Structure 1
Amino acid sequence: MQQIAHFINGQSQTSEATLPVTNPATGQVIRQVAKADAAIVERAIAAAREAFPAWRDTPPAKRAQVMYRFKQLLEEHADRLVQLISEEHGKTVEDAMGELRRGIENVEYACGVPELLKGEYSHNAGPGIDAWSNFQPLGVVAGITPFNFPAMVPLWMYPMAIACGNTFILKPSEKDPSSVLAIAELLGEAGAPPGVLNVLQGDRVAVEGLLDSPEVEAISFVGSTPIAASLYARGSAGGKRVQALGGAKNHAVVLPDADLDNAANTLMGAAFGSAGERCMAISVAVCVGDDSADRLIEALVPKIQALKIGPGTQRGLDMGALVTAEHRDKVMGYLEIGTQEGARLVADGRSLTVPGHEDGYFLGGCLFDRVTPEMRIYQEEIFGPVLCVVRVESLDEAIALINAHEYGNGTCLFTADGEAARRFADRIQVGMVGINVPLPVPVAYHSFGGWKRSLFGDLHAYGPDAVRFYTRRKAISQRWPSAFETTHAEFHFPSGS
């Protein structure tokens, strides 16, 4: 059986120890993935360390040329890459293509790194003194990425990190590693020297090795909040720069004046796309007034019942399988919890069967009504195709509800009222806000990140914040005294006046 290898110093490297990779649509093991031990982790760090000096000194324009070629190769190989994503993750090929395209947008942004790394210059900042600043790379940096976006989330990280002059070690999810390796090989084909990008496959051994290594200067992470909080604390205590994106409970507020047909259609994609396995998925619809809630549920139920669900590699489907049997069972457990807590299960996806794929990890769309804030299905991130409806009496009550939640990743408001939209956007304590846009994922030239326990660290992912995260600013002041200038000791603190 094929082994998905590590990628170290420009070469594929296998391991004796492996982990199984399963096709969620069939429940069958289709590949094995290498499992890093401490020695392999050290080998990857050494490769990145040795590649750093030459790559740091490579002009930014030449680093950008690598990114231009990388973008072209990603587009040329897109069909193969999305097939690998769908086989191992379970999402539909159309969804995988959307993921890849959003990742490519971040490569496009990294192509502009010569402009982004330009510092500031002041002539005659003081008597005969010129001052300027520049941005210099950190060194060896690392990324730890989740299963739900095996192509896009790594592309949030290493294209900009590498374009800024760092070398990078990526530890992807062991659940869907094939596209990650294929994309890393394409970067090498684009001209990145050996050791500039390294991929460590495996489990927590690789994560802890990167986290504890004094040679790794910074770590980017996307995953659950408990792990994000732990990783941030441990990495920061070790002197590393850390950005750790955690979990979410994203609310969509529906006002009585909203276009209900539009809200229902867009909520379907936001709640059930990728089987709800997105950190930006809408998992709570907050309806202002019982009439809004009743009309929304009436619109949603037939759409949920009509969802086209099957193996993601088939075209024309709405939803594929969940990533593992364990995760499907966990999501199904929340359905039982919600029912016991008193919520009304309006649509129950547990009865779904996909002919010919009875062993796949499928679950149909699920909808709860009469959910209240003390319920676990409201408080906790389910990360599956489950939408909860909460009823409130006013926009202010909806805002207070969202602001009280521990997560603050994304939110949106459906309305035709500009004043309400402006008040919502101003007062909501959430990092990414949409107005009639249920998945307000910023474009590549902005930055992605939540508030509260959805983000640990000061800087968001990709966009302008990525340049700041993967570089250090250096300020330089320079003076060349004239040969005719008489100098003497000065003991006061210098100023420009």
Structure 2
Amino acid sequence: MVRELSHYVGGQRVEGNSGRYSDVFDPCTGQIQARVPLASREEVQNAVAAAEKAQLEWGAMNPQRRGRILLKFVDLVNQNLDELATLLSSEHGKTFADSKGDIQRGIEVVEFAAGAPHLLKGEFSTDAGPGIDIHSLRQPLGVVAGITPFNFPAMIPLWKSGPALAAGNAFILKPSERDPSVPLRLAELYSEAGVPDGVFNVVNGDKEAVDALLEDPRVKAIGFVGSTPIAQYIYATAAANGKRAQCFGGAKNHMVIMPDADLDMAADALIGAGYGSAGERCMAISVAVPVGEDTANRLAGKLQDRIKGLKVGHSLAKDSDFGPVVAPSAKERIEGYIQSGVDQGATLLADGRGLTVEGYDDGFWVGPTLFDHVTKDMKIYQEEIFGPVLSILRAADYDEALRLCSEHEFGNGVAIFTRDGDAARDFASRVEVGMVGINVPIPVPIAYYTFGGWKASGFGDLNQHGADAFRFYTKTKTVTTRWPSGIRQGSSFVMPEGS
């Protein structure tokens, strides 16, 4: 039976009335399991109106009380963790354990955001001038929105909404239409925790909904995660409409393997970081850069051995290392990249095309794929594949490896595996990438640091979560005060001085 999904506006599920729908697949079976409505401009505007009305009371609430509500929400998510993870796996295709990790990394940011009273503190200076005090306030923007991707249907919405709500804003989420059920369930849990009706809303949709959010003057800020072309579009359009924007795009994450590295440790890390979640992660390692021919030859052999033992299977099977990709279009795109690598002369060591899983012949399966002798001019190196495809690009020495990581147009994440502290320190300092791991393959920062890439991977001055989130979701007001002392000084026509 195909489920009929909805929007979530004003504290309740609301049926779509645009007459337009998108199919939600079960990636393991290839069958349509739900239909999600695609909102019209009018439906988006109605959600914005509900958010604008609700924000006044929410923004005036003591931030400590807002924090308590968020902590209650975290407790409800934990109580419903298995249900949420099963739902997430059924629409995305990632394994149950990976889905739980998706949710967990999201609620860690909400937990951090519950410390809003400290993070919203302003500054105070006495005697900034004769009898003058100055203080600053952090105030909510009003209505803000998040446009989030399919690959983390819990984590990214929570990264966006937790700090936004803690800061006193109302939030409109436009999740991916490929896996919208978890965002809708999170909206219900926000309401159950005590978030007032209208403060958190979910509007499903496509470009029409996105443009409606971008053009509505009541929406003061937009957060986005997705592909680079769309990130650029949203960032430029938001700016043209006078909005704040933080937009995160594509990635091509490298891992440098130095000759002194523990190669077994490095190979294990590459297998998990390259093939976990079927490679559908913006922080997945997709390029291995071994330094020296001997390092490259030994690493390639270890990777091939490990790939033979990987189990691709149903997302809810306990022995699956990873599941299917999210949609038939994703499978087609990934297999096109694999053929491109073959056509351009890369050495195909493991081919993930044509994989079938017993009992699930129509699932969107792509097996682990490994290329060697990849070069900089190949499409599989230049573009983000977003699938279980790992490329080996050999570097003659450390300097060449550093240049490869720094010169790529994407600058999201990078890692180096080495026993040499001096090399690691130099690499971390000089590499032109936003997030760096040293013997850590996927360097996603914990909640009280910020997450963000450089170059074509990120647009905007402020990153996700951490203190940057509160800077993004608030506006600063500075107040200069002088109380009458009984001494009249007359009018002044010169610029006041600080002392």
TM range (shorter): over 0.9
- Which segment is superposed worse, 26-35 or 138-147? 26-35
Q: Distance in 2 between matches of 1:71 and 1:308?
A: 33
Work out whether 1:298 is the aligned partner of 2:298.
no
Answer yes or no: is the 8 Å Cα contact 1:145–1:153 preserved in 2. yes
Aligned to 2:254: 251
Q: How much does 1:496 deviate?
A: 2.7
Answer yes or no: is the 8 Å Cα contact 1:305–1:365 preserved in 2. no
Aligned to 2:268: 265
Name the SS for the 2:135 alignment partner. strand
CA deviations 1:170-203 (Å, max 9, x no partner) are: 0000000111100111000000001100100121
Matches within 5 A, 1:280-299: 280-299=283-302
Q: Distance in 2 between matches of 1:279 and 1:57?
A: 37
Matches within 5 A, 1:214-229: 214-229=217-232
Corresponding residue to 1:492 among 466, 470, 494: 494
Q: How much does 1:137 deviate?
A: 0.7
Q: Distance in 2 between matches of 1:361 and 1:250?
A: 24
Aligned to 1:172: 175
Aligned to 1:7: 8
Q: Distance in 1 between matches of 2:255 and 2:124?
A: 45
Unaligned runs of 5+ in 1: none
CA deviations 1:197-242 (Å, max 9, x no partner) are: 0100121111111011111110000000000011111110111101
RMSD of equivalent CA atoms = 0.9
Q: How much does 1:308 deviate?
A: 1.0
Q: Distance in 1 between matches of 2:391 and 2:3?
A: 41
What letter corresponds to residue 5 of structure 1 in structure 2? S
Corresponding residue to 1:230 among 198, 213, 233: 233
After TM superposition, the score normalised by the length of structure 2 is: 0.98
Q: Distance in 1 between matches of 2:3 and 2:340?
A: 40
Q: Distance in 1 between matches of 2:495 and 2:52?
A: 40
Q: Distance in 1 between matches of 2:205 and 2:455?
A: 30
Work out whether 1:400 is the aligned partner of 2:403.
yes
Q: Distance in 1 between matches of 2:480 and 2:146?
A: 34
CA deviations 1:148-189 (Å, max 9, x no partner) are: 000000011011101101101000000001111001110000
Answer yes or no: is the 8 Å Cα contact 1:166–1:196 preserved in 2. yes
Q: Distance in 1 between matches of 2:230 and 2:100?
A: 28
CA deviations 1:387-445 (Å, max 9, x no partner) are: 00001111111111111110000000000000100110011000000000010001000
Q: How much does 1:130 deviate?
A: 1.0
Aligned to 1:365: 368
Matches within 5 A, 1:49-128: 49-128=52-131
What letter corresponds to residue 294 of structure 1 in structure 2? N
Answer yes or no: is the 8 Å Cα contact 1:74–1:186 preserved in 2. yes
Q: Distance in 1 between matches of 2:200 and 2:318?
A: 33
Aligned to 2:390: 387
Unaligned runs of 5+ in 2: none
Matches within 5 A, 1:21-60: 21-60=24-63
Corresponding residue to 1:320 among 317, 323, 327: 323
After TM superposition, the score normalised by the length of structure 1 is: 0.99
Corresponding residue to 1:446 among 416, 425, 449: 449
The number of equivalent residue pairs is: 496
Q: How much does 1:316 deviate?
A: 2.7
Aligned to 2:189: 186
Q: How much does 1:33 deviate?
A: 1.2
Identity %: 53
- Which segment is superposed worse, 308-317 or 72-81? 308-317
Matches within 5 A, 1:432-471: 432-471=435-474
Q: How much does 1:54 deviate?
A: 1.1
What letter corresponds to residue 60 of structure 1 in structure 2? P
Name the SS for the 1:384 alignment partner. coil
Q: Distance in 2 between matches of 1:184 and 1:308?
A: 34
